[in-house]
Structure 1
Amino acid sequence: MPKDTITPRSRTPLLRKPDATDGAEIWELVKACKPLDENSMYCNLVQADHFRDTCVVAELNGEIVGWISGHMIPAKEELFVWQVAVGPKARGLGLGRKMLLELVNRDECEGATHLKTTITEDNDASWGLFRSFARHIGGDLSDEPHFESEEHFGGKHDTEHMVTVELPQPAPLARAA
């Protein structure tokens, strides 16, 4: 085949709000991103539909390769990030941080003064992502045990630390990652 008829494959993901039709593909992505907790496909469908304004999908060549689920915490100026998934095809692109920047710069998150998430002590990838994000935006990061293994999970899950990143006001611009 002549070279001029080959369409180059992009390495620049498209970041967008999800919709309900993305639910099944998001579910498959989360399943492929260990050690993330798998939710039901229905849960991911509801997130993509009802919470689309505070969730991010990343597409690479028409395939969903990244996902952030989140929501504004009721009655607080805090954005809670539930899950960040980056598939194998998109690793090494700084996609996690790009998706976080996309999210905190949305109008729907304008009032957020803090970003919160929970991370188990042994999840080095998540700690690295949120520390890198905090450094990138110039925000302080703190953590403390929140959902305790014995008290909240009956000993069947590791303790989740509540991680808090102070967000600069106004929101950080999506600078080059």
Structure 2
Amino acid sequence: MPKDSFSAHADALTLRKPEKTDGAAIWDLVRACKPLDENSMYCNLVQAEHFRDTCVVAELDGEVVGWISGHMIPNDEAFFVWQVAVGEQARGLGLGKQMLLHLVNRDETTDARALKTTITEDNGASWGLFRSFARDIGGALSDEPHYHKDDHFGGHHDTEHLVTIDLPRKQAARLRAA
């Protein structure tokens, strides 16, 4: 979808907390967004119900076109982003960043001083999204190998780098005003 077409439908775009009835649509979206790990439909249903306060669904004209699953890390002032999925019809429009901004500005993530996620070295789209997000909010980004291919994945999955982005406290007021 060209950006002009997206602008024309901007009023139809909704960012909201998921409902358990969104589980199947979220599962379909994640499966269509390679190379994301496909969880079970049950996993997405539980995320949508139990972690709804720290997850977001993006709808365009009633269709689920975006999803971020996340949670506050226990005993840490950090918000962890598990998966970001943007449907083909909404790619290249900044929807991933809009969803991230939406989540870090929710009351449920107020205590987060950092956003954390893991990314494999070869996932250029995710690196681009999180670097752009960090630049936009003025947060420093750092990374280091965290879940190692051999130590944690038994050689079956590439090493995941833990990405940490500082969340400046001033950004919340600035983003809400935008």
Compute the TM-score of the two structures, normalised by the length of structure 2.
0.91
Q: Secondary structure at the match of 1:23?
A: helix
The residue that corresponds to 1:117 in the other structure is 117
CA–CA separation in structure 1 for the residues paired with 2:49 and 2:89: 25
Larger helix proportion of the pair: 2
Number of residue pairs aligned between Structure 1 and Structure 2 = 168
The residue that corresponds to 1:152 in the other structure is 152
Identity of aligned residues (%): 73
| Counterparts in 2 of 1:92 and 1:20: CA distance versus 1, 3 Å | same
The residue that corresponds to 2:9 in the other structure is 10
For 1:169, the aligned partner's letter is R
CA–CA separation in structure 1 for the residues paired with 2:80 and 2:155: 24
| Counterparts in 2 of 1:107 and 1:170: CA distance versus 1, 3 Å | farther
Q: Unpaired segments of 5 or more residues in structure 2?
A: 1-7
The residue that corresponds to 1:3 in the other structure is none
The residue that corresponds to 1:6 in the other structure is none
For 2:43, the aligned partner's letter is C
Deviation of the 1:25 alpha carbon: 0.2
Deviation of the 1:174 alpha carbon: 4.7
CA–CA separation in structure 1 for the residues paired with 2:37 and 2:177: 30
The residue that corresponds to 1:96 in the other structure is 96
CA–CA separation in structure 2 for the residues paired with 1:19 and 1:168: 30
* Larger-gyration structure (1/2): 1
Q: Secondary structure at the match of 2:111?
A: coil
Is the 8 Å Cα contact of residues 101 and 174 (structure 1) preserved in structure 2?
no
CA–CA separation in structure 2 for the residues paired with 1:133 and 1:17: 21
The residue that corresponds to 1:5 in the other structure is none
| Counterparts in 2 of 1:91 and 1:27: CA distance versus 1, 3 Å | same
Deviation of the 1:10 alpha carbon: 1.8
Q: Secondary structure at the match of 1:36?
A: coil
Pair 1:36-2:10 in alignment: no
The residue that corresponds to 2:59 in the other structure is 59
Q: Secondary structure at the match of 2:18?
A: coil
Q: Deviations over 1:79-126 (max 9, x none)?
A: 000000000011121000000000000000001000000000000000
Q: Secondary structure at the match of 1:143?
A: strand
Q: Secondary structure at the match of 2:44?
A: helix
CA RMSD across the alignment = 1.2
| Counterparts in 2 of 1:58 and 1:96: CA distance versus 1, 3 Å | same
For 2:169, the aligned partner's letter is Q
Deviation of the 1:170 alpha carbon: 4.0
The residue that corresponds to 1:49 in the other structure is 49
Q: Secondary structure at the match of 2:68?
A: strand
Deviation of the 1:162 alpha carbon: 0.1
The residue that corresponds to 1:133 in the other structure is 133
Compute the TM-score of the two structures, normalised by the length of structure 1.
0.92
Q: Secondary structure at the match of 2:66?
A: strand
CA–CA separation in structure 2 for the residues paired with 1:175 and 1:35: 35
